[in-house]
Structure 1
């Protein structure tokens, strides 16, 4: 339990990112409606954001002595913009699916024609 006594560093952020990632995978595996699946995808994206910011922090680069060449904060901003666009498109798809089938159960998606 040495992590509990240390100041907050990159290791703590990586642990939080791993927990968020596992929660997102579980949410995607368990939920049966489209909203639950989208929440799981958002959790996985947020886990990636936390890891990118942790990798770009000065404490991580001091521990590993490597520069990744990628600014984590800029990558996080890019993923936030992508997540906003994804949420808007997914909401439009879910509303259209609900209007056609009166449910958002993803098991009914096999009736879609493309």
Structure 2
């Protein structure tokens, strides 16, 4: 097997993933682009493992670790996206600049018991 074919396919997949991360505004599409880049790396790891005929199969073992990390990243990423959508009703990455809610500068948080935020009142019912 020639090493050039999987290396070119992997470079193309990685390039599409980088374009997806840089050009997309939807958070779910950005997560999919990151997964595409991780899969390109996995393809390279397995191709070089087969090419060098490693007896310990280090490339394939590292690929399994990468798959586990990618699964954890997707789980956490989707949980964050769902929480952001629940609180802001949008997942546009360009419009999410800060993690805090919009407040007047210098205004402290409400003391407990005075004003209940809308999201607490909705969750209680």
Structure 1 residue 70 displacement after superposition: 6.4
The DSSP-based 3-state class of the residue aligned with 1:104 is coil
Match of 2:13 in 1: 20
The TM-score, its normalising length taken from structure 2, stands at 0.73
1:17-55 CA distances to partner (integer Å, 9 max, x unpaired)? Answer: 101000101111111010111111111111111111111
Aligned-CA RMSD value: 1.9
The TM-score, its normalising length taken from structure 1, stands at 0.79
How many residue pairs were aligned? Answer: 100
Contiguous gaps of at least 5 residues in structure 1: 1-7
Contiguous gaps of at least 5 residues in structure 2: 101-125
Match of 1:48 in 2: 41
More helix by share: 1
Alignment partners' CA distance in 2, 1:61 and 1:38: 32
Could you list the structure 1 runs, at least 4 aligned residues long, displaced by more than 3 angstroms after superposition. Answer: none
For 1:75, which of 49, 62, 71 is the aligned residue? 62
Larger Rg: 2
